[in-house]
Amino acid sequence: MIQEQVFRTYLDMGMKAAQSGQNELVDKMLDAALELARTLPRGNAETGDMFYLLASAYSHHKRIRRALVLQKEALSIYDKTLESNNPRFLKVLNALAEIYLDHGKPDKALPYCERAARFDESTLGKDHQLLLADTLIKMACISYGEHRFGESTKLYLRADTIRQKLHKTA
């Protein structure tokens, strides 16, 4: 509990430092949060959540290699601690796909998109449904780039259906 609070403090201070342009302090705070996260037990999903949050912060701060490693660590923890249909997976799968796509590696993004596409949107909350739709659109773009137009269209239509249903309930 105390470790989690200290972790959050380091993370918050790092993000505030980033907002004020204090890059050296950002590095120190995120690195301190990472050092603390590495001491936590890997047997619970909350540790995976911490790695996900830290990876997101590193990605925002353009430390992409570290973000990638930490997202994979979060995914590994989730694989060991959660049921395969837990919506926490979607945020990590989407983040990994996005990192690879942003760096021109659709072939590496595709497995994460495919895994996310196996989720049944009817079992997800609104925020996770939107995340699934975003991931499906990423996958549709990859398929389109590989000239698999039929698959691309099906993925886009599934994403659009999810978004339309959400819009009707809003």
Closest CA to 15 of 28, 3, 5: 28
Domains (range + CATH), the chain: 1-82 (1.25.40), 87-170 (1.25.40)
Among 1-5, 52-56, 117-121, 128-132, the range scoring the smallest mean pLDDT is 1-5
User: Which residues touch 41 (CB under 8 Å, ≥6 apart)?
Assistant: 47
Whole-Å CA distances, 6 to 59, 92, 167: 21, 23, 39
Contact assessment for residue 163 and residue 130, using Cβ atoms and an 8 Å cutoff: yes
| % of the chain surpassing 90 pLDDT | 84
User: What is the DSSP code (8-state) at residue 87?
Assistant: T
Confidence of residue 34 (pLDDT cuts 50, 70, 90): very high
Chain mean pLDDT for the chain: 93
Tell me the two tokens of residue 84: 């395969």
The pTM (predicted TM-score) of the whole model is 0.90
Read off the pLDDT of residues 68-84 as tens digits, 9 standing for 90 and up.
999 999 999 999 999 98
In angstroms, the CA 39 to CA 48 distance is 13
Range of weakest confidence among 8-12, 41-45, 94-98: 41-45
pLDDT score for 69: 96
Asked if pLDDT for residue 62 goes beyond 90, the answer is no
> What's the pLDDT score for residue 170?
64
The tens digit of pLDDT for each residue in 137-160 reads 999 999 999 999 999 999 999 999
